[in-house]
Structure 1
Amino acid sequence: MEQWLKFFLTGIIETAKTAIDTLHRIISLQNRLEKETIISLGKRIPNASALLQYLYKQPIVTASDIIQHLDITKPTAHTLLKNFTTLGILKEQTGYRRNRVFVFSDYLHLFNS
């Protein structure tokens, strides 16, 4: 029983260390994107910041998702998507002209490493 308990607690400790490391990398990514990347968007920073916060909850999005969640117009959503793609924050996955899907891959990769 004692060996099982040690094994179990070791697993909990390792999982907690991994979670803490992932959290630190998420915070680092967030700081870099907020302070170095989206700052270049000028007057679009409020919408860009709102989109960035949404991407941490929903890292795979469409233009419709953004329109609905941020309560913005279709042209504004498409402009934000273009900006985020140009800045390397989002990557378009479908290759289509319509119904495109965008992925916040830098964020998702943090959970695989």
Structure 2
Amino acid sequence: MQEVQNYVRALEHGMGRLQDMPLSLRLLREMHEILMEGVRGAQRAPGEFRRVQNWIGSPGAEAGEATYVPPPPGEISSSLGKLERYIHEETRLPHLVDIALVHYQFEAVHPFLDGNGRIGRLLITLMLIERDLLPEPLLYLSAYFERHRESYYDHLLAVSRRGAWEEWLLFFLRGVVTEARDAARRAGKLFDLRESYRERFQKAGSGANVISALDHLFARPVTDIRELANALSISFEAARRLVSSLEAEGLLEEITGRRRNRVYAAQELVRVLQSPLDE
């Protein structure tokens, strides 16, 4: 849970910093420090590029047995400097191809001792936003990479071993198509669900706080009374009554089983978000 929270915090930090600075190695280090705070790898130089050799392989494998050995520490500064310049160069390639090339190169350099995969995937999102291809992080390629994890690693390794760029690019672009269609489908379902809720409660003559609470749930489908009170600028008691009302209507379900500090989920909304993807 902490890793997921850190991932969101790192993404939000990166998006915020893009308002006043370009995508850069400095920004990646800042995000990496946030990403590694209090989780596995927290003692492995968070926010700093590695100064020792690392490698990728089965647990306990030595460098000679590794599947892939990235560049030595002395070459990281030069490799990343070239990558940073490439990110900001004007190329004749389509943006998505550029982003696929950058993602491969970052993973190939493997500049951190831990967390390279997570930062590499965040880099995709930030490039999409910086290049005005997305207004918000609505494309979640990590899900595609995770579902096809073996193929993902095989394609990256094939580029390093035999220059299989075309296969990697096709894999990456298929992922973009798949996740874009999925995001659009889920967004449509969420929109329809929100409109049905609004129509239902407006016909019932519900007050403005109920409609505001519904909007809040589509931003935060898992919430508690105090968070809802703060979000709507109402008293704790008013928020408690609102939650009880939505619970009675079947929109919210208590998911902790606790007597105090209870947490509630908008389960119908969560099901839309978590429903299996039809590829």
TM-score class, shorter-chain normalisation, is: 0.7 to 0.9
Higher mean Cα deviation, 67-76 or 22-31? Answer: 67-76
Compared CA separation, residues 84 and 98, structure 1 to 2 (3 A): same
Higher mean Cα deviation, 76-85 or 93-102? Answer: 93-102
Match of 1:98 among 240, 260, 279: 260
Supply the AA of the counterpart residue of 1:22. R
Structure 2 gap segments, 5+ residues each: 1-164
Q: Structure with the greater relative contact order (CA < 8 A, sep ≥ 6): 1 or 2?
A: 1
Match of 2:249 among 87, 90, 97: 87
Q: Specify the SS of the correspondent of 1:111.
A: helix
- Aligned-CA RMSD value: 1.7
Q: Distance in 1 between matches of 2:223 and 2:204?
A: 20
Higher mean Cα deviation, 66-75 or 3-12? Answer: 3-12
Q: Distance in 1 between matches of 2:192 and 2:184?
A: 12
Q: Distance in 1 between matches of 2:203 and 2:264?
A: 21
Supply the AA of the counterpart residue of 2:215. Q
Supply the AA of the counterpart residue of 2:261. N
Equivalence for 1:68: 230
Equivalence for 2:193: 29
CA deviations over 1:72-94 (Å, ceiling 9, x no partner): 12221111101100111110112
Equivalence for 1:4: 168
Equivalence for 1:48: 210
Q: Report the TM-score when normalising by structure 2.
A: 0.37
Q: Report the TM-score when normalising by structure 1.
A: 0.86
Aligned residues: 111
Q: Distance in 1 between matches of 2:226 and 2:169?
A: 49
Task: Report the identity percentage.
Answer: 27
Equivalence for 2:202: 39
Q: After the TM superposition, which parts of structure 1 deviate over 2 Å for at least 4 consecutive aligned residues? A: 1-8, 38-42, 94-98
Higher-Rg member (1/2): 2
The Cα of 1:41 is off from its aligned counterpart by: 5.1
Higher mean Cα deviation, 72-81 or 26-35? Answer: 72-81
User: Which has a greater percent of helix?
Assistant: 1
Match of 2:240 among 54, 72, 78: 78
The Cα of 1:33 is off from its aligned counterpart by: 0.8
Structure 1 gap segments, 5+ residues each: none
The Cα of 1:96 is off from its aligned counterpart by: 2.9
The Cα of 1:39 is off from its aligned counterpart by: 2.9
The reply on whether 1:13 has 2:211 as its aligned counterpart is no
Compared CA separation, residues 81 and 90, structure 1 to 2 (3 A): same
Q: Distance in 2 between matches of 1:5 and 1:69?
A: 43
